[in-house]
Structure formats: structure tokens, C-alpha cells
Amino acid sequence: MTKKQFALLCEPHLGTDPAVELRAIQASDQFKLRDWKNRNRQFFFFKELISESAQQEWFGRYLTRDDDYMFVVRAEECSIGCMGIRMLEDTWDVYNVILGELRFARKGYMRRALQAMCRWAAELRPMRISAKVLKDNPAINWYCRNGFRIVSSHVDYVEIEWDGAPAHS
Ligand SMILES: CC(C)(COP(=O)(O)OP(=O)(O)OC[C@H]1O[C@@H](n2cnc3c(N)ncnc32)[C@H](O)[C@@H]1OP(=O)(O)O)[C@@H](O)C(=O)NCCC(=O)NCCS
């Protein structure tokens, strides 16, 4: 399976949760991905503005990397955000989780997408799933409500680890 071929479809759970689709990114997503990242850069380790050429270079390198998957999150027939997961040594690293379109905030779409992506990765390769989150990022609490727990604390970030989907997801 190549990156361009795969996609995840998250069906509604018990008919009450919103349907969310995770679709592998394509070249045509570059504008949105760059815009979302630049607008949210205070939440990430890399704080520089990303130029159009830097974005394209990143995408070119991304396509050559195995075990590095970036998704666009889709809900209500719109691209609402993105999230990625990549294999670093023997661990899955969750990265670039961004709700890009704020009108879709706090609807549970990003939670559903995160759970689906983690489940998918765990099935693809059953490895530890972790992420590094800056200590001043309120998303730490969001992760902890969504199946992650803090496993270590460092000067400016915490490392969190996925324990599996919470019962309500
Ligand atoms: C982190 C981030 C992705 C979360 O986005 P979000 O829209 O709040 O996330 P969700 O879609 O999961 O919504 C969750 C909230 O919606 C509420 N909600 C409303 N309707 C819901 C429904 N039908 N199902 C589930 N939750 C629902 C939940 O109660 C939850 O609230 P809570 O967090 O207070 O418990 C977003 O804040 C973001 O992009 N932050 C900036 C970038 C960032 O920091 N990324 C992480 C870097 S490591």
C-alpha cells in the first residue's frame, strides 16, 4: 500500500458520534496545511513561518519516507484539520495535530480522528504511541481526556503516551 492509496473511514459510533474521515494528504492540500501550521505555530516546537517553497520541499521529502503518514481530517464534507503519525525508531510519534477550521471546534471531530489514527497505527504495527507536547499548550489536557497520559516531563515539554481508546470514544 502506498501513501496515496490509503484512507481511513471512521463510521459513526452507535449512531451518535459524528462521522469523520481521515484522508491521506495530497499535493493539493499544501496551501491549507501551510496556512494551518503557520496560524498555530505558537503551539509547536518549530515556530518559524513556513514559506511556500519550504512547504513543497517538506512534501517532497514526506513522500519518500516510509512509516510517516499525514492525514487531512474531513467532517461535514469539509477539510477541517490535519494530524500525522510517524515511526521514530520503535515508537509511533503523533505530530502536527491541528484543528484548522475553528468553526468545527469542540464538536468531537478531532477526538474521533485521533482515536481512529492511533487505532489504525497500532494495528499496522503494534508499537508504543507517543507525542511531545509543549508544556504551555492546553492541548495536553485534551490529549489526557482522549486516551493519553503523561509519561515524562522535560524542561519545556511533556511526553505523553496512548493507553488505548477511552470507553466513550
Ligand atoms: C487540540 C485541538 C486539535 C482540539 O480541537 P477540538 O475541536 O477542541 O477537539 P474535539 O473535536 O475533540 O472536541 C473536544 C471537545 O468538544 C466537546 N464535544 C462537543 N460535542 C461533542 C461530541 N459530539 N463528541 C465528542 N465531544 C464533543 C467535548 O466535550 C470536548 O470538550 P472538552 O475537551 O472540554 O472535554 C485544537 O484545540 C487545536 O488545533 N489546537 C491547536 C493546535 C495544537 O495545539 N495541537 C496539538 C499540538 S501537540
41-82 pLDDT tens trace? 999 999 999 999 999 999 999 999 989 999 999 999 999 999
| 148 is a domain residue | no
- For the chain, list the strands marked E by DSSP: 7-10, 20-24, 68-75, 78-88, 91-99, 128-134, 148-153, 157-162
- Tracing cell 511556500 back to the chain, one arrives at 52
Q: Determine the pLDDT at residue 14.
A: 37
| Nearest-CA residue for atom 24 of ligand 1 | 108
Asked whether residue 143 is domain-assigned, the answer is no
112 within some domain: yes
Looking at the domain assignment, is residue 69 inside a domain? yes
- What does the pLDDT read at residue 15? 45
Unique residue bearing C-alpha cell 471531530: 109
Look up the domain containing 13 and give its range.
3-127
Number of domains in the chain: 1
CATH number at residue 16: 3.40.630.30
Residue 58 lies in a domain: yes
With a threshold of 0.85, does the pTM exceed it? yes
Q: Is residue 145 part of a domain?
A: no
In a domain, 135, yes or no: no
Q: Is 39 in the pocket of ligand 1 (CB under 6 A)?
A: no
**146 located within any domain:** no
3-class SS of residue 30? helix
| Minimal-distance CA residue to ligand 1 atom 20 | 107
